[in-house]
């Protein structure tokens, strides 16, 4: 998907439901080698979660009230540098109508208290601390600077079994020239 540069009063081509894969030239430590699922994007900005930064604590240790939604050793994920004191749930559900913020298909965000009838319809879930956010025009400027590569989001990527290799796996799956970029080390001095 190509996103045109923003000029004047141009409308935003929404990246909602897309993955943003950081390019090899994005050195911001908040987003170096990340894959971000965009949950909302319009003229006022964008919000999403980083999919490939599992943290040390398990959900059971960090947010015991949500432990029954995930596996016993499932980690909490770092969703991004914004609101790191807030928990964000990304879920795939049987009925997309129960999602507070649908993203694509039956995948979206759940907020607040999760009712028992909602819990029973959850097929997959990830628990994030914080989220990623961009103000008006900020993401468009980063796209123009080629900081991000866009890829369609799929359940396979969003709920990847190996989140630590997701950045590499998405780039490799795109083929040339992205498969070469997938070999760029996190620390460029290691090259």
In tens, the pLDDT along 110-133 reads 988 898 889 999 999 999 999 999
Domain containing residue 75: CATH number: 3.40.1740.10
Residue 105 domain-assigned? yes
Please check whether residue 191 lies inside any domain of the structure: no
Do the domain assignments include residue 157?
Answer: yes
**End-to-end Cα distance, the chain:** 30
Q: Is residue 139 part of a domain?
A: yes
Q: Per the domain annotation, does 190 fall within a domain? A: no
* Residue pair 127/63 in contact by the 8 Å Cβ criterion: yes
82: containing domain: 18-185
Give the pLDDT score at 141.
95
Q: Is residue 60 part of a domain?
A: yes
Rounded Cα–Cα distance for residues 191 and 188 (Å): 5
Q: How many domains does the chain have?
A: 1
What is the Cα–Cα distance from 132 to 123, expressed in whole angstroms?
24
> How far is the C-alpha of 157 from the C-alpha of 167, rounded, in Å?
10
User: With contact defined as beta carbons under 8 Å apart, do 159 and 92 qualify?
Assistant: yes
In a domain, 4, yes or no: no
More confident residue, 57 or 182: 57
Asked whether residue 5 is assigned to any structural domain, the reply reads no
- How high is the mean pLDDT of the chain? 91
- Extract the runs of DSSP E, i.e. beta strands, from 115-161: 122-135, 148-152
């Amino acid at each position: 998907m190509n996103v045109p540069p923003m000029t004047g009063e141009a409308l935003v081509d929404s990246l909602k439901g897309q993955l943003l894969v950081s390019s090899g030239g994005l050195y911001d430590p908040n987003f170096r080698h990340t894959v971000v699922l965009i949950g909302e994007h319009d003229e006022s900005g964008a919000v999403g979660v980083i999919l490939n930064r599992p943290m040390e604590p398990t959900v059971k240790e960090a947010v015991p009230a949500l432990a029954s939604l995930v596996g016993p050793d499932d980690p909490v994920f770092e969703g991004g540098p914004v609101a790191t004191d807030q928990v964000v749930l990304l879920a795939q559900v049987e009925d997309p109508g129960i999602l507070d913020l649908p993203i694509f298909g039956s995948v979206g965000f759940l907020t607040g208290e999760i009712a028992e009838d909602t819990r029973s319809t959850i097929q997959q879930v990830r628990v994030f601390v914080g989220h990623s956010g961009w103000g008006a025009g900020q993401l468009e400027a980063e796209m123009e600077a080629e900081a991000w590569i866009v890829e369609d989001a799929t359940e396979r990527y969003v709920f990847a079994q190996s989140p630590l290799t997701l950045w590499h796996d998405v780039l490799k799956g795109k083929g040339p020239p992205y498969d070469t970029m997938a070999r760029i080390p996190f620390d460029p001095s290691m090259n």
